[in-house]
Amino acid sequence: MSRVHDALRRAGLTGTVAAGAAAMPAADYLSPELLQRVQTVPWQLSPDALILDPLQPRDAPIEEFRALRTRLNHMQSRQPIHTLVLTSASPAEGKSFSATNLALAQAQLAGNRTLLCDFDLRRPVLHKLFQMDRSPGLTDYLQGTVELEQAMRRIGDTDLYVMPAGEAVSNPLELLNLAEVKQMLDRLPAIFNWIILDSPPLLFAADGNLLATLCHGAILVVRIGATTSDSIARAMQSLCENNVIGVIVNGARRGELYSKYTYYHSYE
């Protein structure tokens, strides 16, 4: 048994699920008790982070992510969808912005534990957005140097957890091809309702394509005025498994976004 698999086995696995559920082998189940060992870090966002302010719940951008959250949760009620990869055709189209704010929107629902993972091992940004250490994180866990709970952080007293990228590696695609990546993604839904992955652009690295095959669904982020129809077509064609369940259109002008909320919020 590899070091990595052995670390996974030690990171909070139990023999069976609690009474009332079907028996499940230890190798297939992560105990929720693992979360009690996750480090809590302060809610401390970078000044440059394009993160929506939860204290302004009626802002139109927040409403957009809540609408997306509602659609995803409805879809989840009809089919088992827990792991999502957010990607784009090219860089600078807003995938990290979308992944982060969707995770925040999900975590705002009571008891809706959400894990935001930085799988963009080439240009990770989540640790900068939340002003936390990059390591320990995903790569450290996959290489067997830390336990799973050590690779995560809980953000304040929220239900949002973040897994930063971890130490830089020279072979990110080879690391993501480890069987332990799929094992981890298959088991995380035992303790998180949503696992949201930020991945590299599809046309610049094969990582996003690989991750899409390991997740229940993929969401493509496109930017108005930047993403071309040709790049969208090539990005879709690059996917080994077409499990794209939606598209986020990013970069709408402020007037276009806010106009439909004028009636509802003009009084206040």
Structure tokens at 115: 């894990």
Calculate ∠ Cα 145-197-161, nearest 5°. Answer: 65
Average pLDDT over residues 59-64: 71
For residue 227, report the phi and psi dihedrals to the nearest 5 degrees: -80, 125
CB of 71 within 8 A of CB of 79?
A: no
What SS3 state is found at 250?
A: strand
Condensed to tens digits (0 to 9), the pLDDT of residues 108-133 reads 999 999 999 999 999 999 999 999 99
For 3-72, strand residue ranges (E) read 39-41
Q: 235 pLDDT exceeds 60?
A: yes
Q: 11 pLDDT exceeds 50?
A: no
Average pLDDT over residues 195-205: 95
- Which domains, ranges and CATH numbers included, belong to the chain? 40-265 (3.40.50.300)
Residues ≥6 apart with Cβ < 8 Å to 155: 40, 41, 43, 130, 161, 162
Query: Binning pLDDT at 50, 70 and 90, where does residue 52 land?
Result: low
Question: Does the predicted TM-score (pTM) go above 0.85?
Answer: no
Average pLDDT over residues 147-161: 96
CA atoms within 13 A on the CB side of 83: 22
Q: 246 pLDDT exceeds 50?
A: yes
Report the percentage of the chain scoring pLDDT > 90.
Answer: 62
For position 211, what pLDDT does the model report? 96
For position 2, what pLDDT does the model report? 41
For residue 201, report the phi and psi dihedrals to the nearest 5 degrees: -60, 145
